Structure 1
Amino acid sequence: MTENIWQQYETRLLRVLEYIHAHLDEDLDLEKLGEIACLSSYHWHRIYRAVHGETAAQTIRRLRLHRAATELVETRKSVSAIAARAGYPNLQSFTRTFGAAYGLPPAAYRERGKTVYPTAQSEEASAMYEVTIKTIKPMHLVGLAHRGPYPEIGATFAQLGVLGGSRGLFARMKGSVALYYDDPDVVPAEKLRSLAAIWVDAPECVEPPLEAAIIEGGDYAMLRHVGPYSDLHKAYGWLYGTGLPSLGRPISDAPCFEDYVNDPKNTPPAELITDIYVPLA
C-alpha cells in the first residue's frame, strides 16, 4: 500500500481533503467521507491511513484543535463558543482534550498568547528565542501554491502530501518547507501568497498543479521556534523587532521560509520545531 495506491486514488483523496477542510464546522461522518472517496468503508479507512499516516478521525480532531488554538490567540470569541465550534459537547471535554494536546488549558493558552513580544534585554527573550546566521546551499523545491491566510496552509500541505506521494517524490524528499511571499501586516489575508513545498535533492520537472521553485543559497538569519504553529506570530514579532536589528545585517529582497523539522501528525504541538529563515544581503 505505497505509491501504487496513491497513484490510483490521488483524485479521490484530494476530494476528501478538500471536503474535510471546507466542512470542519459540520458533523463529518466517516462513512460519508468514504462515499466521497467512492470507496467501501473497509478499504477507505485502510487507504486513508496508509497515505496520511493517521486516521481520518485523527485528522479532523487535529485540524479542529489547531483552529481552536488560533482562535484563542487571535479572536475574542468565548472559550465555550470555540469549544462548540470544534465539535465538543461541553467545555469540560474541550478543556481536557486541548490541555492534553497543547500543555495548557484553553484560558491559560489564550492569556499566554496575549503576552507582548519580549524585549531583547528580558530574561524571557533569552529563554525563548535566539537568532543566528546560517549559510545554506540552494534548495530545490516542489510545491503547491497557497492563496489565503497563512495559518490555513496546512490544507495545502495535506494536498501536497497526496500529490507528492502519487508522483513518487517522497523518495527524494529532504524536508518540508513553506515560502511566504507577502507581509501579513500589509497584505489582506485573502490575498496572501505562499508555497507549501517539499525540499528535494535535485531539480524536478513537475506537472501542474505542482510547481518547481528554488531557495537561493547564502546567508540567512535563522530562529528556531519550539511550540505550536499558532505561536509563530510571536517569534516573527521578536525576530523583526529585536533579533534582526541585533545582527547588524540588511535583509535581502527575497521571501522568508519556514523549515518544519518534525511532523504535526505525530508530534505534540508543544514539541513542534519550526526553523524560520530570513535572507540577508
Structure 2
Amino acid sequence: MSPRTRELLHLLAVVNARLSEDVSLGTLAGWAHRSRFDLHRRLRQLTGETPKAYAMRVRLARAAGELVASGRPVSVIAARHGFRSHEVFSRAFTRHFGRSPRSYRVRGLHVDVPGAAAVHALAAGSAAPCLGLYRVSLTERKAAVSLDVSVRELPTIHALMMRRRVTRDEIATALGEILPTVFEFVQREGLAIAGPPFARYPEMGMGSLVIEGGITIVEPASVELPEGVEAIEIPAGRAATAIHRGPYETLQESYQGIEKWMREQGLSAAGAPWETYLTDPGEQPDPALWETEIVQPVR
C-alpha cells in the first residue's frame, strides 16, 4: 500500500470515530497537514464521494439505525450524530430517505423478531463507512498464511443484491456502485439488516465473472423492489468456511486453499461461493488486520 493510501485510511478511521464533531474539509486538511484541494481530490478518488457527502451519508445511516433501535428523542439522536439542530437533521434525513425521522421511526422495520432492530443498527452503522471501500486494490501482497477451514451448517439466508458481469480488476468498482445502492434501499424501506455486506460469485470464468453484491436481511423483502435490485434466498446446508486475513489482493489464494482442503476431504462444491466483509476498511486502516469470511457450500 502506498504511504498516501495508508494515510487516507487512517484519516477515515479518525473521521468515523469523530463524526459527532466538526469533520469539515478544512478540519480534515488540518489533521492531515494537506491542502484542502489535495485532500478533497484524494478522498474522492478513494471513496467515490466528496468528504462532505461521505460524512453526511455515514451520519444519516447511523442515525437511521438508532431511530429504529432506540427510544431516544430525535433531537438527541441528531446531536449524537453531529447535526447542529433538530431542524438541520430533519431536512437532511428527509432528503436522503424520503420521509421525516419521526415518520421513519413510526414505520419501523418490516420484521417482528426480538433483537432484530439492535442487530440492524449495528450492521448498518458498521457497514456505512466502507460501502465504497470493499475490495479496494492496495497494490500490496503479503505472504500467504495458513487457513483454518471447517464445515458448518448454515441457516437459510435472505438477501437483496445487484448482479454484474465484470473482470477481476473491476470487482472493487462494481461493489462500490452496487453496495451503496442496495444498502440505501434497505435502510430507506425499513428492511432489517442481518449482517455485513457480501459478494457472491455464481459464475467464474477465465476472462470474466458474474458478481452479486448485496445485503443480508432478516426476512424476505415484503416491498416492491426497484429495477436492478433482486431478492435471493440461499438455502440452508453445509458449507466449508474460513477467515481470510489480509488485503483483498490475496483472497484468491484463500479460495484456492479452501478448494485444496475440500479435495483432501472428499468434498465438492454445491453452489456459488461468497465472501462476507467482517472488517470495515473505513474504521480499520491496517490491511493486515482485515478479515473476510469465505463460504463455499459443499455436498
Q: TM-score, normalised by structure 1?
A: 0.55
Q: What are the residue-to-residue correspondences of 1:80-159 with 2, within 5 Å?
A: 109=142, 112=143, 128-150=146-168, 152-159=170-177
Q: What are the residue-to-residue correspondences of 1:1-281 with 2, within 5 Å?
A: 30=41, 44=53, 46-50=55-59, 66-69=136-139, 72-73=140-141, 109=142, 112=143, 128-150=146-168, 152-159=170-177, 160-168=179-187, 172-175=192-195, 176-183=197-204, 186-189=205-208, 192-204=209-221, 205=223, 206-241=225-260, 243-252=261-270, 254-267=271-284, 268-281=286-299
Comparing 262-271 and 194-203, the one that deviates more: 262-271
Q: How many residues align?
A: 187
Classify 1:218/1:166 alpha carbon distance in 2 versus 1 (closer, same or farther; 3 Å).
Answer: closer
Partner of 1:10: none
Q: Give the C-alpha shift of residue 272 in structure 1.
A: 1.4
Q: Give the C-alpha shift of residue 209 in structure 1.
A: 2.0
Superimposed CA distance per residue, residues 65-85 of structure 1 (whole angstroms, 9 cap, x where no aligned partner): 94342xx55xxxxxxxxxxxx
Consecutive unaligned residues in structure 2, runs of 5 or more? 1-37, 63-128
Letter of the 1:146 counterpart: R
Partner of 1:24: none
Indicate if the aligned counterparts of 2:247 and 2:290 stay in contact, CA closer than 8 A: yes
Q: Give the C-alpha shift of residue 248 in structure 1.
A: 2.1
Q: TM-score, normalised by structure 2?
A: 0.52
In 2: Cα distance, 1:280 partner to 1:133 partner: 8
RMSD of aligned alpha carbons: 3.8
In 2: Cα distance, 1:244 partner to 1:260 partner: 22
In structure 1, the residue corresponding to 2:180 is in which secondary structure? helix
Letter of the 1:67 counterpart: S
Superimposed CA distance per residue, residues 165-188 of structure 1 (whole angstroms, 9 cap, x where no aligned partner): 2552675111221110223xx431
Consecutive unaligned residues in structure 1, runs of 5 or more? 1-26, 74-108, 116-123
Indicate if the aligned counterparts of 2:152 and 2:238 stay in contact, CA closer than 8 A: yes
Partner of 1:15: none
Superimposed CA distance per residue, residues 144-196 of structure 1 (whole angstroms, 9 cap, x where no aligned partner): 2132134533333333224422552675111221110223xx4313xx10100
Classify 1:233/1:251 alpha carbon distance in 2 versus 1 (closer, same or farther; 3 Å).
Answer: same
Letter of the 1:179 counterpart: R
